[in-house]
């Protein structure tokens, strides 16, 4: 039988069920707690989001009074669902051109569920371009499936376009290779307060019960990178 390579990105629109973003109050609070405050965003900043998808995070930035932003995504099918009020700030093309054009001009670069789609060498090249796009004092916010947590495997292996599983340690290694330092790493905590409390209790018990617990238990891992 002849093996045929499949480009799973051609069916990404139906796989991900593209739809215009609907930001609920809990989504706004989540971005506040997981991105805005940890990375010290401010309305006066210039922000680039790579892999912006349907524009949910960019719309969030606008609700917080930040208006100098740019989103980039390679999937041209997104044009039908990106909200019109941010459409002129989204480029549906390869990220490399935007990174070169914006060299040294961004205060924050955000990549949510993006880096896992690259090989280690591809991720290194991308982070090098991101580093060059930052202003002095700039930071990078990254979210990936947590490769050292058993709960992260479902996310990592649930999408055939994912190429690399990252951990806190490997992201620190990647940052170091590109002149950045890992400033902070933390899990994405979601769900009702009672569920979060029970998760924290179970993770605490597991950490005491096994010899090599992960640094972060949550399924998704956030890291903030800053200039070394």
CA distance 45 to 70: 11
The per-residue pLDDT for 1 is 47
Domain extent listing, the chain? 23-227
Distance, CA of 4 to chain centre: 31
pLDDT digits (tens, 9 = 90+) for 159-177: 999 999 999 999 999 999 9
pLDDT for 1-46, tens place per residue? 455 567 899 999 999 999 999 899 999 999 999 999 999 999 999 9
Cβ contact 107:47 at 8 Å? yes
Maximum separation of any 2 CA atoms in the chain, in Å: 58
Q: Looking at domain 23-227, what is its CATH homologous superfamily?
A: Vaccinia Virus protein VP39 (3.40.50.150)
Query: Burial, 144: exposed, middle or buried (Cβ in 10 Å; 0-12, 13-18, 19+)?
Result: buried
Q: What is the pLDDT of residue 192?
A: 83
pLDDT in the model for residue 216: 94
- Name the burial class of residue 19, with classes exposed (0-12), middle (13-18) and buried (19+) by CB atoms within 10 angstroms of its CB: exposed
Show the CA angle centred on residue 22, arms to residues 192 and 13, nearest 5°: 110
Residue 87 corresponds to which tokens in the numbers above?
Answer: 């459409």
Please report, in tens digits, the pLDDT of each residue of the chain (228 residues total).
455 567 899 999 999 999 999 899 999 999 999 999 999 999 999 999 999 999 999 999 999 999 999 999 999 999 999 999 999 999 999 999 889 988 999 999 999 999 999 999 999 999 999 999 999 999 999 999 999 999 999 999 999 999 999 999 999 999 999 999 999 999 999 888 888 899 999 999 989 999 999 999 999 999 999 987
- Residue 34: the pLDDT is 97
């Amino acid at each position: 039988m002849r093996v045929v390579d499949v480009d799973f990105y051609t069916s990404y629109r139906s796989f991900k069920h593209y739809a215009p973003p609907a930001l609920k109050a809990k989504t706004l609070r989540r971005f506040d707690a997981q991105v805005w405050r940890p990375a010290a965003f401010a309305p006066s900043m210039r922000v680039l989001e790579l892999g912006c998808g349907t524009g949910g995070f960019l719309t969030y930035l606008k609700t917080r009074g930040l208006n100098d932003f740019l989103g980039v995504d390679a999937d041209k099918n997104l044009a039908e669902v990106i909200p019109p009020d941010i459409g002129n700030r989204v480029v549906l093309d390869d990220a490399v051109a935007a990174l070169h054009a914006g060299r040294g001009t961004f205060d924050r670069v955000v990549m949510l569920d993006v880096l896992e789609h690259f090989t280690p060498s591809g991720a290194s090249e991308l982070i090098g371009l991101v580093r060059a796009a930052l202003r002095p004092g700039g930071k990078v916010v990254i979210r990936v499936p947590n490769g050292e947590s058993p709960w992260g495997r479902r996310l990592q292996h649930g999408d055939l376009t994912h190429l690399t599983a990252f951990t806190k340690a490997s992201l620190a290694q990647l940052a170091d290779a590109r002149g950045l330092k890992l400033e902070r790493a933390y899990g994405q905590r979601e769900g009702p307060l009672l569920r979060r409390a029970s998760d924290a209790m179970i993770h605490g018990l597991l950490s005491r019960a096994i010899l090599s617990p992960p640094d972060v238990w949550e399924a998704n891992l956030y890291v903030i990178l800053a200039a070394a």
